[in-house]
A and B are shown apart, each in its own frame.
Chain A
Amino acid sequence: MAEPRNASAPLLAAKGLGRNFGGLAAVRDVSLSLYPGALHAVIGPNGAGKSTLVNLLSGHLVPTAGSILFEGRDVAGEPPWRMTRLGIGRSFQRTNLLSSLTVLENVRLAAQAVAALPSLRLLRPASREKELVAAAYEALERVGLAGAANRQSGLLSHGEQRQLEIAMTLATRPRVLLLDEPLAGMGPEESERFTHLLKDLAREHAVLLIEHDMDFVFAVADWMTVMVDGTVLAEGLPTDVRANPEVQRAYLGGHA
């Protein structure tokens, strides 16, 4: 199978990754590579193990088999906070915010987490740390939420909460972005803005995207993996995947 465009080393690579829940293999023998500047989409029916895969890569689940290489170093089993600090950022499928805090504070805390401040600096009043606030505004502006900075995040509309979710992830300055159905619940206008943003992000990051909207996926993906029943059914360029008869039968149906 052909490698994606860049011949450079992958930033994040999963090799033979597997996770059992009791007797059930939610993910088995999944290998994939994420390259900087490329958007890698993972599609598949519900229950195919896509979210489990993201949880494995982000450290929220510990793999029962295989390895995860970040810049060539095995990071499988590291806790989520360390994955984030390494540069592996993720968004959640179901919105997961600090809902009683303001929008700005959600993002500012994310910027603070990766700022690697010395312990004593943590005693400084939060209001005096202008760089963190600036970093937070930058992330908010990227997703188009700067105008809502002082609103309580729990009171945002569903679509805005999805945007904030992305902003928080961006504020942790990730190099790998794991996006678990970022479009779910966004209105058409927000989706369009997000499509642009995603194309932008894919230029600077290694992106793994899980998404159900096939038109959208085929429009933005550089490389695709199709998962069924926890394992990889096919992978390749979007055009090849679309043409693959096995994929058509198993998943796409009449769609492609």
Chain B
Amino acid sequence: MLPETKYGWMGLVLGAAALAALPLFAPPYYVELGTYAVIAAMLALSLQLLVGCTGLVSLGHGAFYGLAAYAVYLVTPESKGLSIFVTLPIAVLVAGLAALVVGALSLRTRGFFFLMVTLAFGQMVFFLFHDTKIGGGADGAFLARPTLSFLGYELTLTRRQRPIAIYYVGLMQMVLMYSGLAFLLRSLFGRVLEGIRVNEHRMQAIGYNTYRYKLAAFVIAGMLAGVAGHMWAMHRGFVNPELVGWHRSAEALLMILLGGLHTLHGPILGALAYTGLGELAQSLTERKLLVQGLVILAVVLVLPRGLSGLRFPRDWRRKLPFASEEKPVPEAPAESLRHG
């Protein structure tokens, strides 16, 4: 899941530095696009905890993302935005509680049934917002965006500064989320999740109540999706049922596939590539989704391990003084998606 070579870590640091430097050279439009990408990356990262780490493919993950955004909308008074230190915990808590309920029920099933049950839950949440007046119904609603304030002191930003500040807030959250997940995967808890991904049946036989571990992972993933959903509300100041729909979950799954199923940086790479690709396709043609789909298909066929499976040519690497032997990473593609 984590980089295994010096190059991997170097790439990670360089990537983070490049993202941090983006507002210094990119026009405002691209900074905003960057914020979208960072939000998408957080959603994909949170889903990776289930898909790549635990072997649980969920199509209802978008529901927690959307619920968090709606939670921000529902607690914010019309006139004035609340502090991010108020809205973020609320959004995360709402997403986590929803994940606890959905997870407790859906994790009783496995594999295909799990996929379908999570999809059904996601769609229930979608229609809750689509068919009722909550949050402006199908049209959605605007909200006063959370502010960067703390204990009465508010950071006042000009129209030009705000997108940049928001971008950094998002980026910081993403870096924290990546680090937190990296830490989690190295912990005893993370090892159990890996064991469940590889062979759940055996994990039960050696004494693990796997249901509880999967539920814990599901709730954590839901809460992290809530962080992404909160960021969306903060960035856009608008909620609509599309946030909750299964498209969101499917997109996040595509980003994971595009970036790499077995790494933690894969979802980030995938989200950046997906967002960039969408932008490029839109500027070139009117068939954005078609182009996006074809490119993703091509990448997945050519690079079974996604963009994070890309490597420099061997000859080039050997010239570097600190080139280290790269061990082939043992892969278990067959097991990785098997449930129990």
B201 within 8 A of A: yes
CB <8 Å contact, B332 and A100: yes
CB <8 Å contact, A121 and B188: yes
Q: Please, which residues of chain B bring their CB within 8 A of the CB of A123?
A: 183-184, 187-189
Encode contact with A along B18-50: 1 for CB under 8 Å, 0 otherwise: 000000000000000000000000000000000
With the chains together, A113 CA to B204 CA distance in Å? 9
Q: Which of A41-49, A79-87, A191-199, A246-254 contacts B (4 or more CB under 8 A)?
A: A79-87
Q: Who on chain B is nearest to A174 by CB?
A: B207
Q: Please, which residues of chain A bring their CB within 8 A of the CB of B286?
A: none
With the chains together, A81 CA to B194 CA distance in Å? 17
With the chains together, A93 CA to B104 CA distance in Å? 33
Q: Please, which residues of chain B bring their CB within 8 A of the CB of A100?
A: 198, 330-332, 335-336
A129 within 8 A of B: yes
Interface residue SS majority, chain A: helix
CB <8 Å contact, A109 and B192: yes
CB <8 Å contact, B204 and A98: no
Q: Please, which residues of chain A bring their CB within 8 A of the CB of B331?
A: 100
Q: Please, which residues of chain A bring their CB within 8 A of the CB of B186?
A: 125-127
B199 within 8 A of A: yes
Interface residue SS majority, chain B: helix
With the chains together, A100 CA to B328 CA distance in Å? 13
* Cβ distance B66 to chain A, nearest Cβ, rounded Å: 29
**A100-B198, A100-B332, A100-B335 given; A110·B187 CB < 8 A:** no
A239 within 8 A of B: no
B208 within 8 A of A: yes
Which of A90, A101, A154, A171 touches B205 (beta carbons < 8 Å)? A90
Q: Please, which residues of chain B bring their CB within 8 A of the CB of A33?
A: none
B195 within 8 A of A: yes
CB <8 Å contact, B208 and A81: yes
A20 within 8 A of B: no
Q: Please, which residues of chain A bring their CB within 8 A of the CB of B201?
A: 96
Q: Please, which residues of chain B bring their CB within 8 A of the CB of A31?
A: none
21 CB-based A-B contacts, threshold 8 Å: A81-B209, A84-B205, A96-B205, A97-B202, A98-B203, A100-B336, A108-B191, A109-B195, A122-B188, A123-B189, A124-B187, A125-B183, A125-B187, A126-B187, A126-B191, A129-B188, A132-B188, A154-B330, A155-B330, A168-B202, A169-B206
Inter-chain pairs besides A113-B203, A126-B187, A127-B186, 17 sampled, C-beta below 8 Å: A58-B205, A80-B204, A84-B206, A92-B205, A99-B198, A99-B199, A100-B335, A100-B336, A101-B194, A109-B192, A113-B206, A113-B208, A123-B184, A123-B188, A126-B190, A155-B330, A169-B206
**Residue positions of B touching A, CB distance < 8 A:** 183-184, 186-192, 194-195, 198-199, 201-210, 330-332, 335-336
**Residue positions of A touching B, CB distance < 8 A:** 58, 60, 79-82, 84-85, 90, 92, 96-101, 105, 108-110, 112-114, 117, 121-127, 129, 132, 152, 154-155, 168-169, 171-172
